[in-house]
């Protein structure tokens, strides 16, 4: 039997009185869902009082292992292997996490409260009392990748621009964003206007995570009285899914954690690849070696020079620039040869970031000069600008080839 209450029966005596609450009883487990504001001292105090009450035998929090590590270990960025990040194709994810860190830092400086401090307090206090801690949120990287794969080209471009602006920006966080945090979701506020204007992004960042966290709670076994600390905005959806979902947790999690490894636009890659191969073949067949070689040369120069220019503007090493020039003409033919990834990988190996670079990263990305001074930031800049140059070169070279073929 499943029941949902807005307040616990002992609300008048509970430390959670006057706090946003849902209580769900299912399969012999009582789940007390405590809604918090991620920038509220009152939420911190309510969480600590609830954990200290002795009423609960487990504490669940709206965190994944990576976000918990970021909250509890300020040196986590300094321990990252940037070469491995690039090799695994996680450069964009690293940039997104950096933007989130920069955003949280601005909030902490502006409001005097560390964003997510109530979640950190819940984990530390539960561990101090020997209570099991359940990390029930989906890993940020999965959420980011699932969100990006559902956006069109323009949506991806806007979101990427927002990430860059978040890393550059040092202005105060607006009242509307602070209000979102009081209502309770860090990722939604971090994505800013994109989540509110994109149904696909909102569904992935907010609604999917309601279902994911409910499924994780159902998956956990052993506890009979669970305190779940989540952003207040998740309460209605989380309570509904926790009470009503009937699918097997393992199957549901498999679905919610799946990410397409291939491009979201495989047909576009196929069309571009076929166009290039067909264009070169037609040039050699109809016009002979001179026409075919001319088409090939124009393609290499259009893509290679613009990709190399992007790397040059990022302050890339000469060998990184050469790598960008070589990889750019091949990028449309195979995703593993993406010019931004290749040039950034070469840059990271030739100019390995130091511990000091990682420690200064959050400060350096607040200024334009800092981006070129800091080796980690310069690698990211290399990745983005080389990719941008190559993308412009692909369309420029493709249009020039089309003009030759139909002219």
Q: Could you identify the residue written with the tokens 């959806």?
A: 237
> Which pLDDT score, from 0 to 100, does residue 58 have?
96
Q: Distance between CA atoms of 387 and 335, rounded to whole angstroms?
A: 12
- The three-class DSSP label of residue 228 is strand
**Residue pair 53/129 in contact by the 8 Å Cβ criterion:** no
Q: Are residues 48 and 69 in the same domain?
A: yes
Q: Are residues 215 and 88 in the same domain?
A: yes
Q: Distance between CA atoms of 97 and 167, rounded to whole angstroms?
A: 10
**Residue pair 4/30 in contact by the 8 Å Cβ criterion:** no
> Which pLDDT score, from 0 to 100, does residue 7 have?
58
> Which pLDDT score, from 0 to 100, does residue 264 have?
46
Q: Which of 225, 257, 289 is the endpoint of a domain?
A: 257
Q: Are residues 7 and 61 in the same domain?
A: yes
Using CB atoms within 10 Å of the CB of residue 262, give its burial: 0 to 12 exposed, 13 to 18 middle, 19+ buried: exposed
Tokens of 285: 């067949």
Q: Could you identify the residue written with the tokens 């009242």?
A: 175
Q: Are residues 250 and 350 in the same domain?
A: no
Q: Are residues 320 and 229 in the same domain?
A: no
Q: Are residues 10 and 156 in the same domain?
A: yes
Sort residue 66 into left (φ over 0), alpha (ψ -120 to 50) or beta.
alpha
- The three-class DSSP label of residue 117 is helix
Q: Give the closest residue to 238 by CA, choosing from 258, 222, 216.
A: 216
Which H helix or E strand runs over 12?
none
Q: Are residues 244 and 275 in the same domain?
A: no
Q: Are residues 244 and 288 in the same domain?
A: no
Other CB atoms within 10 Å distance of the CB of residue 105: 16
Extract the residue ranges of the chain whose pLDDT is less than 50. 1, 10-12, 192-195, 262-265
Outline where 129-225 has alpha helix (H).
Answer: 140-150, 153-168, 175-183, 186-191, 193-197, 199-202, 208-219
Q: Distance between CA atoms of 311 and 381, rounded to whole angstroms?
A: 8
> Which pLDDT score, from 0 to 100, does residue 194 have?
46
Q: Are residues 291 and 184 in the same domain?
A: no
> Which pLDDT score, from 0 to 100, does residue 296 have?
77
Tokens of 108: 């902490």
Sort residue 28 into left (φ over 0), alpha (ψ -120 to 50) or beta.
left
Q: Are residues 65 and 179 in the same domain?
A: yes
Q: Distance between CA atoms of 281 and 13, rounded to whole angstroms?
A: 80
Q: Distance between CA atoms of 44 and 52, rounded to whole angstroms?
A: 12
Note the pTM of the prediction, 2 decimals: 0.68
Q: Are residues 248 and 270 in the same domain?
A: no
Q: Distance between CA atoms of 341 and 221, rounded to whole angstroms?
A: 42
Domain count, the chain: 2
Residue by residue, DSSP assigns 54-84 as: S--SEEEES--HHHHHHHH-TTTGGG--HHH
Q: Distance between CA atoms of 182 and 192, rounded to whole angstroms?
A: 14
Range of the domain at 388: 266-406
Q: How far apart are the first and last CA of the chain?
A: 73
Q: Are strands 29-36 and 58-61 parallel, antiparallel or unpaired?
A: unpaired
Q: Which of 224, 257, 290 is the endpoint of a domain?
A: 257
What is the number of residues in the chain?
A: 407
Q: Which of 239, 257, 275 is the endpoint of a domain?
A: 257
How do residues 235-270 score in pLDDT, each as one tens digit?
889 999 999 999 999 999 998 888 765 444 455 556
Q: Are residues 244 and 270 in the same domain?
A: no
The dihedral over CA atoms of 305, 311, 317, 318, expressed in degrees to the nearest 10, equals 0
């Amino acid at each position: 039997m499943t029941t949902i209450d807005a307040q616990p029966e002992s609300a008048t005596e509970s430390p959670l009185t006057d706090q946003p609450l849902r209580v769900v009883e299912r399969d012999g487990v009582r789940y007390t869902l405590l809604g918090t504001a991620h920038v509220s001292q009152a939420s911190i105090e309510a969480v600590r009082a609830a954990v200290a009450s002795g009423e609960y035998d487990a504490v669940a929090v709206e965190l994944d292992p990576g976000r918990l590590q970021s909250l509890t270990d300020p040196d986590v960025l300094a321990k990252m292997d940037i070469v491995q990040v690039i090799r695994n194709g996680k450069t964009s994810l690293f940039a997104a996490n950096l933007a989130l860190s920069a955003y949280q830092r601005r909030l902490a400086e502006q409001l005097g409260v560390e964003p997510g401090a109530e979640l950190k307090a819940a984990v530390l206090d539960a561990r101090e009392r020997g209570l099991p801690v359940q990390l029930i949120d989906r890993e940020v990287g999965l959420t980011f990748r699932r969100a990006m794969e559902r956006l069109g080209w323009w949506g991806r471009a806007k979101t990427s621009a927002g990430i860059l602006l978040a890393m550059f920006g040092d202005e105060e966080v607006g009242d509307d964003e602070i209000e979102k945090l009081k209502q309770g979701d860090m990722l939604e506020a971090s994505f800013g206007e994109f989540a509110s204007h994109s149904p696909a992004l909102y569904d992935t960042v907010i609604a999917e995570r309601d279902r994911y966290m409910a499924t994780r709670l159902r998956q956990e076994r052993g506890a009979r009285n669970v305190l779940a600390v989540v952003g207040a905005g998740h309460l209605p959806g989380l309570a509904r899914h926790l009470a009503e979902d009937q699918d097997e947790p393992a199957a549901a999690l498999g679905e919610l954690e799946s990410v397409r490894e291939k491009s979201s636009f495989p047909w576009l890659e196929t069309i571009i690849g076929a166009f290039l191969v067909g264009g070169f073949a037609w040039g050699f067949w109809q016009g002979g070696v001179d026409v075919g070689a001319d088409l090939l040369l124009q393609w290499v120069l259009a893509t290679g020079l613009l990709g190399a220019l992007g790397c040059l503007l990022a302050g890339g090493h000469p060998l990184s620039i050469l790598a960008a020039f070589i990889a750019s003409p091949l990028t449309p033919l195979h995703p593993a040869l993406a010019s931004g990834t290749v040039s950034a990988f070469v840059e990271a190996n030739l100019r390995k970031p130091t511990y000091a670079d990682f420690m200064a990263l959050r400060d350096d990305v607040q200024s334009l000069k800092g981006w070129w001074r800091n080796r980690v930031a310069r690698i990211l800049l290399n990745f983005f600008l080389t990719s941008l140059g190559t993308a412009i070169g692909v369309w420029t070279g493709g249009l020039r080839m089309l003009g030759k073929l139909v002219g």
